[in-house]
Amino acid sequence: MSAAALKSRPATLVTGLAILGAFVLVALLAPLIAPYDPIYQDAAARLQPPSFAHPFGTDNFGRDILSRVLYGARIDLQIALIGVAFPLVIGTVIGAFAGFFGGLIDTALMRLIDIILAFPFLVLMLSIIAILGPGLTSFYIAMALVGWVSYARLIRAQILVLKNSDYAMAAVSLGFSRLRILFRHLLPNAVAGSLVFSMSDAVLVLLSGAAISYLGLGVQPPMAEWGVMVAEGQSFVTQAWWITLFPGLSIVVLAFGFSMIGDALGELMGVNE
Amino acid sequence: MHRYRFILTRPLQFLPVIFGVSIITFVLVRLIPGDPARVLLGARATPTAIANVRAQFGLDEPIWMQYFYFLQNLLKGEMGKSITYKIDVLPLIATRIEPTLALVFSAVLLSVLIAVPLAALAARNHGRPVDHLVRVVSTFGIGFPPFWVALMLILLLAVAFPVLPVSGYGSTLGDKLVHLILPSLTIALSLSTVLMRSLRAAIVEWLKSDVATAARARGMPESIVFWRHVLPNAVAPTINLLAVNIGWLIGGTVVVESVFALPGMGQLLVRAIFSRDYMVVQGVAMVFACATVLVNFLADIATVAADPRVKL
């Protein structure tokens, strides 16, 4: 990354990292900073508008929305991070092997990717969750089964170019093993694009996880998750807007953070998505 | 006409993909633990019904023979019966296609209506604040969850326009269109940000192109240069962008149909998952996958038709 590029885009990267950092802090410190227990139902404080006692108001069970939003950061950050990590690792390994060794396995994998990409992403996710049963674990499994294809494609394309590079030839002539060349020489140079993509992918994963939870097929109530909270507030949206507004805004701001990091990293590394 | 030869050859390349799609949908449902007949028919199935399904799908035979029967049934247009609706899956899906198709079309139309003027405004003010604003919106608009945007629209618009329906579909054409306003607006707000980004870049490029310079040199006013020479060229790649995003768009309809209780294929899918109506899940997934492949094919045709230089 060049110094000039670093100078031109620091604000975006810093803002993005600050947003992500703030959410990580909130997630870690939720038990300390949340004013109430996120699942405690206070029958005397149902559907209260925002006030000093309840800055984000309360829901129809009298639960404190601020506390639920803070605790929700734990689940939704986890959704974004785990939901990206598995596909990233699986896709990188598969794409690296396919691109490096080529042949029949490569052809077969590319056909498999074509088939998986023929399904609309959310439809295939939902179909897998239908089989596994609702829940966060099912979501992660479905994510790992479906999400790797983008990373495999990106890495494979990179490896195909890099394996004909001069330094790869040099490594071959030095007598290094093929695995060593792949993992020590080629892969480190191939991952930049995937890492940039993983940030915009985090937005997609976060939104999918929240949407699936909103539909009732992901995180299960009474657990505080932003998508679930939006679903719970739906029937009250015109009387008690605060139940849905704040969890939705949290998704938007976190997604904004990921997008900013991805955008800035893309420019810094000279990667065009 | 050799440019259009791919219309005959391309479908042959789709066959393996569709074949693979059928394998995946088949495997998905067979992965459910337990007796497939009982799983497919639900807990209260009669012994005769179970025997019928066993015979139809050859469930006592080896797995590859079962797949063969599945394929045979598929070619006859039989994908089994829905346990909740008690009718065949394909006719059931057919009744749900119209709302989904209408939603996709109106959402695409609306997002083009939103994206083109804003992209044009940004490109013609390249580097000015309004351009930066549009760039920021188009970069980060994708982070707005559709299910939440839908509720915020209800909150904002239900107060101002109480006539706007917030759920259901209606029976007459006018009624249906009114019911589509909020759902399609929800999707269009996201989709337009995707379109805006590429449209803005394309318009900036074409404003600098030789085509535009030549038009200006002939003394054409800037507005004619823009409308006649720049915009048509810049809009063409959008067709492809829409095709690339069709999977994402369908995902959006699944969620938005559920929010607004719009009786389309997406809502059918979500309800089928809750009622463990696996035949319906299988059928909808299959139809959506075929639709995705078809849309990409149509987009290829449109791209070739729109630009004489493109060869596929």
Identify the CATH number of the domain in which residue A127 sits.
1.10.3720.10
What is the domain count for chain A? 1
pLDDT in tens, B203-234: 999 999 998 999 999 999 988 899 888 988 88
How much is the average pLDDT of A48-71? 94
Burial of residue A273, with CB atoms counted within 10 A of its CB: 0-12 exposed, 13-18 middle, 19 or more buried: exposed
pLDDT tens per residue across all 312 residues of chain B: 577 778 888 888 888 899 999 999 988 888 887 777 877 777 777 888 888 888 877 778 888 888 888 888 888 888 888 888 888 999 999 999 999 999 999 999 999 999 999 999 999 898 899 998 988 888 878 899 999 999 999 988 877 787 788 888 988 888 899 999 999 999 999 999 989 988 998 999 999 999 899 999 999 998 889 988 898 888 888 888 888 889 999 999 999 999 999 999 999 999 999 988 888 999 999 999 999 999 988 888 888 887 777 776
Measured at the CA of A135, the angle between CA A133 and CA A139, to 5 degrees, comes to: 90
Residues 124-153 of B with CB under 8 A from A: 139-140, 142-149, 151-152
pLDDT-above-90 percentage for chain A: 73
In angstroms, how far is the first alpha carbon of chain B from the final one?
Answer: 12
Give ranges for CATH 1.10.3720.10 in chain B.
89-306
- The C-alpha atoms of residue A98 and residue A105 are separated, in whole angstroms, by 7
Residues of chain B numbered 93-122 and touching chain A (CB < 8 Å): none
For residue A249, is pLDDT > 60? yes
How many beta-carbon pairs under 8 angstroms link A with B? 148
Window 187-246 of A: residues touching B by CB (8 A cutoff) are 200, 203, 207-208, 210-211, 214-217, 227, 230-231, 233-234, 237-238, 241, 244-245
Both structure tokens of B89: 């899956």
- From CA A256, how far away is CA A20, in angstroms rounded? 9
Q: Determine, for residues B251 and A120 on separate chains, whether the beta-carbon distance falls below 8 Å.
A: yes
Residues of B within 8 A of A203 (CB-CB) are 142-143
Q: Is the dihedral of CA B247, B251, B256, B257 positive or negative?
A: positive
- Closest residue, chain A, to B140 (C-alpha): A256
pLDDT at A8: 55
**What's the rounded Cα separation, in Å, for the pair A140 and A209?**
9
Cβ of B145 and A117 within 8 Å? no
Query: What does the pLDDT read at residue B97?
Result: 95
pLDDT for res A94: 95
The residue in chain B having the minimum alpha-carbon distance to the alpha carbon of residue A233 is B151
Both structure tokens of A184: 């020590």
Mean pLDDT of A104-123: 93
**Do B295 and B186 contact (CB within 8 A), yes or no?**
no
Q: Cβ contacts (< 8 Å) between B249 and chain A: which residues?
A: 120
Whether A49 contacts chain B with CB within 8 A: no
Q: Are A266 and A272 in contact (CB under 8 A)?
A: yes
Which among A123, A233, A251 is the nearest to B145, CB-wise?
Answer: A251
Cβ-contact A269, A1 below 8 angstroms: yes
Cβ(A25)–Cβ(A73) below 8 Å: no
Amino acid making up residue A211: A
Question: Which pLDDT score, from 0 to 100, does residue A2 have?
Answer: 45
| Residues B103 and B267: beta-carbon distance below 8 Å | no
Where residue A271 falls (left for φ over 0; alpha for ψ -120 to 50; beta otherwise) is beta
The structure tokens listed for A265 are 């990293």
Q: Answer yes or no: do B251 and A122 touch at CB < 8 A.
A: yes
pTM score, whole prediction: 0.92
Residues of A in Cβ contact (< 8 Å) with B157: none
Residue A2 belongs to a domain: no
Domain around A140: 7-269
> A149-205 pLDDT, tens per residue?
999 999 999 999 998 888 888 888 888 888 888 988 899 988 988 999 999 999 999
Residue among B151, B156, B267, B284 with most chain A CBs within 10 A, to mutate: B151
Q: Does residue B68 belong to the interface with chain A, where contact is any CB pair within 8 Å?
A: no
Query: Furthest-apart CA pair in chain B: how many Å?
Result: 83
pLDDT tier at A224 (50, 70, 90 boundaries)? Answer: very high
pLDDT band (50, 70, 90) for residue A233: very high
- Identify from A129, A131, A259 which residue to disrupt to test chain B contact, counting B C-beta atoms within 10 A and taking the largest count: A131
pLDDT of residue A273: 46
Check if the interface score ipTM surpasses 0.95. no
B143, B145, B148, B153 alpha-carbon torsion, rounded to 10°: 70
Q: What is the mean pLDDT of residues A232-245?
A: 92
Note whether A122 contacts B254, CB cutoff 8 Å: yes
B148 contact residues in A (CB cutoff 8 A): 230, 244, 247-248, 251-252
Chain A hits for B293, CB-CB cut-off 8 Å, are 118
Structural domain includes residue A47 = yes
Report CB contact under 8 Å: B289, A118.
yes
> Which listed CATH number (1.20.1070.10, 3.40.50.620, 2.60.40.10, 1.10.3720.10) goes with B89-306?
1.10.3720.10
A259, B281: Cβ pair inside 8 Å?
A: no
User: What is the distance in angstroms between the Cα of A259 and the nearest Cα belonging to chain B?
Assistant: 6
Average pLDDT, integer, range A142-153? 95
Spatial contact of B183 and B212, defined as CB atoms under 8 Å apart: no
Contact B139 A263 (CB under 8 A): yes
How far is CA A54 from its chain centroid?
30
HEC assignment per residue over chain A: CCHHHHHHCHHHHHHHHHHHHHHHHHHHHHHHHCCCCCCCCCHHHCCCCCCCCCCCCECCCCCEHHHHHHHHHHHHHHHHHHHHHHHHHHHHHHHHHHHHHCHHHHHHHHHHHHHHHHCCHHHHHHHHHHHHCCCHHHHHHHHHHHHHHHHHHHHHHHHHHHCCCHHHHHHHHCCCCHHHHHHHHHHHHHCHHHHHHHHHHHHHHHHHHHHHHHCCCCCCCCCCCHHHHHHHHHHHCCCCCHHHHHHHHHHHHHHHHHHHHHHHHHHHCCCCC
**Which is more confidently placed, B54 or A142?**
A142
B-chain residue closest to A112, CA distance: B20
Q: Does any domain span residue A1?
A: no
Q: Which two tokens stand for residue B39?
A: 């799983």
Q: Does B312 touch chain A (CB under 8 A)?
A: no
A223 φ, ψ (degrees, to nearest 5): -55, 140
